[in-house]
Each structure stands twice: as structure tokens, then as C-alpha cells.
Amino acid sequence: MMDETTQVREVRRIFNRVAPVYDLLNRILSLREDVRWRRFVARSLRLPVDGGRVLDVATGTGDLALAIAARPERPRVVGLDLVPAMLTPAARKARRAGAPLALLAGDALRLPFPDASFDAATIAFGIRNIPRRVEAMAEMGRVLKPGGRLHVLEFTTPRRPAVRRLYTRYLRHLLPRLGGLVSGDASSYQYLADTILRFPPPDEFRREMVAAGLVAPRSHSLTQGIAWVHVAEKPLTD
């Protein structure tokens, strides 16, 4: 097991390296399901009529931020990521889509925003890369307005034995090979597979959301329980 500093260094190394092929690999490795998952999250945000402000943490190449910005309520979306190289394709896609995304480099553990400044916060496939998950969710809670919701989209190993067996095989063998072939770095995809296998099941993750000071946690499974959306709220009063 790596210590925290080594994990963060590894995360920076991996995403710096895979940034140029990240989108392509996502589409191939998830058979395009990832597009549907992000749209589901974007649709399920309860946005105010004027669109409000949404923060997408660990925004990477910006696919979730862009799906949110395309909602008819026209929210103002800020995307933040630790690795500037991931934000380069995000900025390019935002320009192409004419989406007014604000993108900035930063750490989920120290968000550069005042308390209660966002109507909703999201993080897609990012929370499992952050060693101090509860602290990161508490920090996202800090910047949410009271009653605002945090939406976490993340992989989990499915529970049904047959699906679980197949999926584990895919993660251990096929993912690193395919990832290695396209990115030239199989070890990055081995690491990413390990983070999925180590990620807690939904009930345990919801307890972490509560430990982060959020309330009313619930989860929704997507594609046979491979991906989940976990939602919790900032309490209305302290």
C-alpha cells in the first residue's frame, strides 16, 4: 500500500501521461456507457431556474462539466482539476461547444472558493483517486449552499457474483492491456483498476458522506452496478 504522498504523485504522473488519449480510452473501455452516465448525473441535478452555479471537481477533460453546461437551465459551471494537462482538452472542447466553462487547476482538498458559493457540486471518477475522501467531501460541502447537493459518480465492483467475476477479470487483464496499447502505459491502467477494486461498496461510501457532514445520502446504480451515483445534501442548518 502506497503512502499518501506517493499516491498523489502517482495520480499526477498517470493523468499527465494519459491526458491526450483519456477521452478515447474512456469511450473504448466503457463501450460509450460513460457518456450516458455523465448525462444521467447532469439531468439529475436539481438546478435553480436561473441555472445557478455548479462546481465540477476533478473535472479532467471536462465531459461532465460540459454535459452540465448544456442543460437547458444554463448553469454557470466551474471545473477544477489537480493536473493542468487534463484541462487542456477540456478548454478545447468548451471552445468548440461554445460553452462558457471556467476551468482552473487546484486541489479538491483546498477549494479556492468561499463558503456556500455553489448550488451543486459534482465529482465523476475522481473521488477514488483522492486518498483523503472524507476531507475532500467535507470541503465540497463547505462550498455548497445549505440544501445544495453533492453528486458523486464512481465505479464500484458489482455485487452479483457472475457480473462481479467477469468485471474483475476485465479490470485485472483486459483494461491494463487495452489501456497500455493506446496510452503506452499499462501500469497506469493497472493502478486505476486497483483503485476501483479497493473502492468501498455503496453503503460504506454513504457512511463516508455522512462522516463528511452531509445528510440524506442515497445511491443509484447504473449498468449492472458497475457505476453508481451517490447523492447527499448539505444540511439546511448547522
Ligand X SMILES: C[S@@+](CC[C@H](N)C(=O)[O-])C[C@H]1O[C@@H](n2cnc3c(N)ncnc32)[C@H](O)[C@@H]1O
Residues that bind ligand X (CB under 6 A): 11, 15, 57-61, 63-64, 81-83, 86, 107-109, 124-126, 129-130
Q: How many CB atoms lie within 10 A of CB 2?
A: 11
Q: Which residue is nearest to ligand X (CB)?
A: 60
As measured in angstroms, the least distance from the Cβ of 136 to ligand X is 7
Of residues 14 and 209, the one with the C-beta less far from ligand X = 14
Query: Cell triple for residue 2?
Result: 502506497
* φ/ψ of residue 184, rounded to 5: 75, 15
As measured in angstroms, the least distance from the Cβ of 152 to ligand X is 11
Distance CA 222, CA 195 (A): 19
Closest CA to 128 of 39, 67, 204, 187: 204
As measured in angstroms, the least distance from the Cβ of 89 to ligand X is 10
User: CA-based angle 79:85:88, to the nearest 5?
Assistant: 60
As measured in angstroms, the least distance from the Cβ of 29 to ligand X is 11
For the chain, report the end-to-end CA distance as a whole number of angstroms.
37
Distance CA 88, CA 132 (A): 26
Q: How many CB atoms lie within 10 A of CB 56?
A: 33
As measured in angstroms, the least distance from the Cβ of 161 to ligand X is 27
Of residues 126 and 202, the one with the C-beta less far from ligand X = 126
Of residues 3 and 238, the one with the C-beta less far from ligand X = 3
Of residues 106 and 203, the one with the C-beta less far from ligand X = 106
Of residues 126 and 179, the one with the C-beta less far from ligand X = 126
| Residue 120 three-state SS | strand
